[in-house]
Structure 1
Amino acid sequence: MFPYRVTKYDPVHRDELGRYARDDWTSFADVGRECAGAILTLDEYERVESTYIDSALGFLREADVRSLSARGVENASGSSVAPTEGASLEPLALGAVMQGILREDFWCRLEAPAAFVHFGWDYYMYVGVPARCESACEVARRRGLFVEPFESPYRESDDPHEEAS
């Protein structure tokens, strides 16, 4: 498996513990608010959101991953877009589900035996695929995202007897 962290956050601005040290927006709820000296507009939010979604789908396409399943679904708001637990999602449905997760309407892990897309707090995205995806990495970088080798903190152990660290 080839795991990546794909974000809008430039790694040169991380502190010694890996925390992003600059002021930046981190949520759909920040639309209309001032972040880093500028108001986050809906247009700018949607531009970045579509870049994340397109990038995730690009990794899956390049790695020939045809579907992911919804795991750990949390839907306290009752969103009609939220998948049911275990639902198999093909690329067309994945985009809408990813948008719902990024907008914090609901949450779930998107997983297959050899691939995943996870979204975390503060607009972090983790992608794991069964093959190197140099083209997808390059496209994400050209669109302004930063791609780093990184294990997802949301990945459940493959071994049910392995202790969490």
Structure 2
Amino acid sequence: MNKYRISKYNPIFRGSTGRYSKEDWTAISDIGKTFDGQLLTVELYKSVEDNYVNTVGTIMNYLNVSHLTVSNIRKGSNEEEFEKVVTKYQPLYNNNEIRDAYYNLVDNTKLSAQEIGPVVRLLLREDIGADVYCENVMRVFIGYDYLMGIHTAQPIESIVLDIERMGVFVEKV
């Protein structure tokens, strides 16, 4: 498998141990705070989140993956806590697809590149955890601190520049 770290974090600010040296936001809860002189607004947060969603779709299309399976779904909090987050960040949850995915997603759901967005958003926002994959072709890992890993059966180097033009960085690991 080819393994890639894909994130908003520019690798030139990564030390020899891999630690990121710049202060930067890492979660939806950072909205309203200032990092490196820039206020993290809902609009800025959403634009970065869009880059991650578009990256997953781009890789799926490149690899001719018709769908990703979502399994082992784990909710990050109970429904009452989720609704508090929805209320606090209303502009980011005003799309019914995201809330529908949270409440209705079941193990072994298969989603196309056009349908995977709400799940990627829920993962990035740490509302859910899940395994996201196309068996033997592609796996998507989204963890804490706004980090995404992609494992692929075939290399994606020929689309790295296209992905980076979307506003994220690709590092082969």
- For the aligned pair, the TM-score class normalised by the smaller chain equals 0.7 to 0.9
Counterpart contact for 1:53–1:95, Cα < 8 Å:
yes
1:77 maps to 2:100? no
Alignment of 1:1-165 (within 5 A): 1-75=1-75, 76-78=77-79, 80-82=100-102, 83-114=105-136, 115-150=138-173
TM-score, L = length of structure 1: 0.83
What is residue 153 of structure 1 aligned with on the other side? none
The separation in 2 between residues aligned to 1:85 and 1:144, in whole angstroms, is: 31
User: How many aligned residue pairs are there?
Assistant: 150
What is residue 159 of structure 1 aligned with on the other side? none
SS in 2 for 1:91: coil
**Structure 1: gaps of 5 or more residues:** 151-165
Higher percent of residues as helix: 2
The separation in 2 between residues aligned to 1:136 and 1:55, in whole angstroms, is: 10
Counterpart contact for 1:63–1:132, Cα < 8 Å:
no
**Following TM superposition, by how much is the alpha carbon of 1:93 offset from its aligned partner in structure 2, in angstroms?**
2.0
Counterpart contact for 2:56–2:113, Cα < 8 Å:
no
Q: String of CA shifts for 1:52-97, please: whole Å, max 9, x gaps.
A: 1101110111011111111331113346413212222222221111
By relative contact order (CA 8 Å, sep 6+), the higher-ranking structure is 2
Counterpart contact for 1:55–1:136, Cα < 8 Å:
no
The separation in 1 between residues aligned to 2:134 and 2:163, in whole angstroms, is: 22
RMSD value over aligned CA atoms? 1.6
Q: String of CA shifts for 1:85-123, please: whole Å, max 9, x gaps.
A: 222222222111111111222121201212111101100
**Structure 2: gaps of 5 or more residues:** 80-98
**Following TM superposition, by how much is the alpha carbon of 1:135 offset from its aligned partner in structure 2, in angstroms?**
4.4
Q: Which amino acid aligns with 2:21?
A: A
- Percent identical: 29
